Amino acid sequence: MQPAVMAHRGNSGVAPENTLAAFARAMETKAEWIELDVHLSADGEVVVMHDDTVDRCTNGSGAIAEMTLAEIKALDAGSWFGVEFAGEKVPTLAEVVALVGDRVRINVEIKSAADPMSSLKVVEVLKEGGVLEWSMVSSFGLEALVETRKHWPEGLLALITARAADLDVVIEHRLQWFNVGYWEVDEAVMRRAHGAGVKVMIWTMDDPARWKEFAGMGVDMVCTNVPHRMPV
């Protein structure tokens, strides 16, 4: 069985990451999932951006947690990537859900893991958009996943890590997915994960020549910046 493809921050190889343009282009590929990152704005809106500041991916500056949604929406999130994306806005999670619907599944990475409201609001947005059961919530912070489980006991939860040894944590906390750096995965890791009923997603693997290698190991999903290049 071939691994599923997850588009990292949308099709971020051809469009500015974590924008509606990137997610739209991901849906033009064979990606079954999109991955995105979220923070809460000062007024409690779930904003889609990787960094905790707007500095790298917009023409503005400042911490997302200290800016209102209106202030964030006033920024240009596309020109840094290319002139054809000038005027692209920072989306909310609700806007992404409205765009993709049930055409592709969503993996929401909670960045502000120490804020318990992040988990509650993410679950609320996914539920209101009708895609909760179709989605995944992931984080580098175990506390965010534990909090998410309170609001979504049956949910698909994934620990993100750069260490194969963290599979112990995944098994201990009965998480369904182990989202681990591709360089940490080998056949022994795959056997142990699958033996415990855990699925494995590798990140961020952008080399099409290695697709068969990871497929042969039984990797369940490949997260990539270039979903359009993967030989699915």
Alpha carbon 71 to chain centroid distance?
Answer: 24
**Is the torsion defined by CA of 104, 26, 3, 51 positive or negative?**
negative
Integer Cα distance of 58 and 101 in angstroms: 26
8: annotated active-site residue: yes
Identity of the residue numbered 79? S
Which is nearest to 34 in space by CA: 25, 23, 46? 23
Integer Cα distance of 232 and 184 in angstroms: 22
**Token duo for residue 9:** 């921050």
Find the catalytic residue in 50, 151, 194, 228. Answer: 50
151: annotated active-site residue: no
Pairing of strands 105-110, 221-224: unpaired
| CB count in 10 Å sphere of residue 154 | 9
Residues with active-site annotation: 8, 50
